[in-house]
Structure 1
Amino acid sequence: MSKRIEVEVCVVGAGPVGATLAATLAAAGIETAVVDTAPLPPMEMPEFDGRAYAIAATSRNLLVAAGVWDRLPDFPCPIREIRVSDGRPGEPPSPLHLHFSADELGEEAFGWMVEARSLRVALNAALPSLPHLQVFAPARPAVERAPEGATVTLEDGTAIAARLVVGAEGRRSPLREAAGIGTTRFDYGQTGMVMAVAHARPHRGVALEHFLPNGPFAQLPLAGTAQHPHASAIVWSDRTALAQRFLAMDDAALSREVARRLGPQLGAVQVIGRRWSYPLSALQAQRFTDTRLALVGDAAHGIHPIAGQGLNLGFRDVAALAQCVIEACHAGTDPGGPEALARYQAARRPDALLMLGATHALERLFGNDLPPVRIARRLGIAAVHRVPSLKRFFARRAMGFGGGALSGLLEGRGLLPAG
Structure 2
Amino acid sequence: MSDSDTRIPTGAKERRDLIILGGGLVGMTLALAAARAGISSHVIDRADPADLVAEGADGRASAVSTASWNLFCNIGLGKRLEPLGCAIDSIAVTDGMKPGRIDFQPKPDEGTLGRMYANRDLRIALFEAAKDEPNIAWHVKTEAVRRDRGPHGVEVELSDGRILTSSLLVAAEGRQSPTRDEAGFSMAKWDYHHRAMVTGLFHSKPHGGTAWEIFYPAGPFALLPLLDDAQGRHRSALVWTVAEKDAKGVIAMSDAMFLNEVAEKMHGVLGDIELSAPRMSYPLRFHHAVNVVDERLAVIGDAAHGMHPIAGQGLNLGLRDVGALVEVLSEGMRLGLEPGDAQLLARYEKWRSLDSVMVMAATDTLTRLFGIPGRVPSAVRRLGMGAVQRLPALKRFFMDEARGMSGKLPELLQG
What TM-score, normalized by structure 1, do the two folds share?
0.93
Note if contact 1:289-1:295 (Cα within 8 Å) is conserved in structure 2: yes
Q: CA shift at 1:264, angstroms? A: 1.5
Q: Does 1:31 align with 2:34?
A: no
The alpha-carbon deviation at position 49 of structure 1 amounts to 4.9
One-letter code aligned to 1:168: A
How big is the shift at 1:67? 2.7
2:112 corresponds, among 109, 113, 124, to: 109
Q: How large is the Cα RMSD of the aligned pairs?
A: 1.7
Once the two structures are superposed, what CA deviation does each residue of 1:218-260 show, in whole Å capped at 9, x if it has no partner? Answer: 0001112134611100011110122322222122211111111
Q: Displacement of 1:393 after TM fit?
A: 0.8
**Residue aligned with 2:194, SS:** strand
Residues 87-236 of structure 1: pairs in structure 2 closer than 5 A? 87=96, 93-103=97-107, 106-141=109-144, 142-227=146-231, 229-236=233-240
Q: Which residue of 1 aligns with 2:362?
A: 358
For residue 278 of structure 2, give the secondary structure of its aligned residue in structure 1: strand
Contact in 2 for aligned 1:206/1:221 (Cα 8 Å): yes
How far does residue 370 in structure 1 lie from its aligned partner after superposition?
2.8
Decide whether the 8 Å contact of 1:35 with 1:137 is kept in 2: yes
| Structure 1 unmatched ranges of 5 or more | 88-92
In structure 1, how many angstroms separate the alpha carbons of the residues matched to 2:99 and 2:320? Answer: 35
3-state SS of 1:274 partner: coil
Distance of 2:54 and 2:204 partners within structure 1: 26
> Do the aligned partners of 2:187 and 2:289 also contact (CA within 8 Å) in 1?
yes
Per the normalisation by structure 2, the TM-score is 0.93
The DSSP-based 3-state class of the residue aligned with 1:41 is: helix
Q: Does 1:330 align with 2:339?
A: no
Shift of 1:361: 0.8
| % same residue | 40
Contact preservation (8 Å) 2:101, 2:385: yes
- Deviation per residue, 1:318-374 (Å, 9 max, x gap): 111111111111221122111111111111122111122111111111001233322
Runs of 4+ in 1 over 6 A off after TM superposition: none
Instruction: Give the equivalent residue in structure 2 for 1:292.
Output: 296
Supply the distance in 1 between the matched residues of 2:374 and 2:269 (Cα, whole angstroms). Answer: 28
Residue 276 of structure 2: SS of its match in structure 1?
A: strand
1:273 partner SS: coil
1:248 equivalent to 2:252? Answer yes
For the 8 Å contact 1:71–1:125, the answer to whether it is kept is: no
1:92-132 Cα deviation digits (max 9, x unpaired) = x222110011335x222111111111111111101011121
Q: After superposing the two structures, state which structure 1 stretch, 36-45 or 246-255, moved more.
A: 36-45
Distance in 1 between the 2:58 and 2:158 partners? 33
Verify: 1:310 aligned to 2:308, yes or no: no
- The answer on whether the counterparts of 1:41 and 1:120 sit within 8 Å (CA) in structure 2 is no
Per-residue deviation, 1:42: 4.9
Q: Distance in 2 between matches of 1:270 and 1:42?
A: 26
Return the match for 2:381 from 374, 377, 383. Answer: 377
Q: Which amino acid aligns with 2:136?
A: L
SS of the equivalent of 1:377 reads helix
Deviations 1:149-170, CA, capped at 9 Å, x for gaps: 1112223443322111000011
CA distance in 1, matches of 2:249, 2:52: 35
CA offsets, 1:123-151, max 9 Å, x none?
Answer: 11010111211111122222110022111
Please tell me the residue identity of whatever aligns with 1:11.
I
Q: CA deviation at 1:45?
A: 5.5
Q: In the aligned structure 2, how far is the partner of 1:122 from the partner of 1:307?
A: 24
Q: Distance in 2 between matches of 1:320 and 1:162?
A: 20
Between 1:219-228 and 1:324-333, the stretch displaced more is: 219-228
CA contact (8 A) 1:198 1:228 kept: no
Counterpart in the other structure of 2:5: none
- Are residues 236 and 381 of structure 1, via their aligned partners in 2, closer, same or farther at CA, if it must alter by over 3 Å? same
Moved more, 106-115 or 274-283: 106-115
* Deviations 1:40-68, CA, capped at 9 Å, x for gaps: 23587524853111111111111122233
Q: Deviations over 1:241-293 (max 9, x none)?
A: 22322222122211111111112121111123200100111001121011000
> SS at 2:170's partner residue?
strand
For the 8 Å contact 1:21–1:318, the answer to whether it is kept is: yes
2:4 aligned residue: none
Cα distance, 1:396–1:44 mapped onto 2, change above 3 Å: closer
2-structure distance, mates of 1:60, 1:159: 35
Pairing of 1:47-86 with structure 2 (within 5 A) = 47=56, 49-72=58-81, 75-86=84-95
1:393 and 2:375 are equivalent in the alignment = no
Give the secondary structure class of the aligned counterpart of 2:49. Answer: coil
For structure 2, the 5+ residue unaligned runs are 1-8
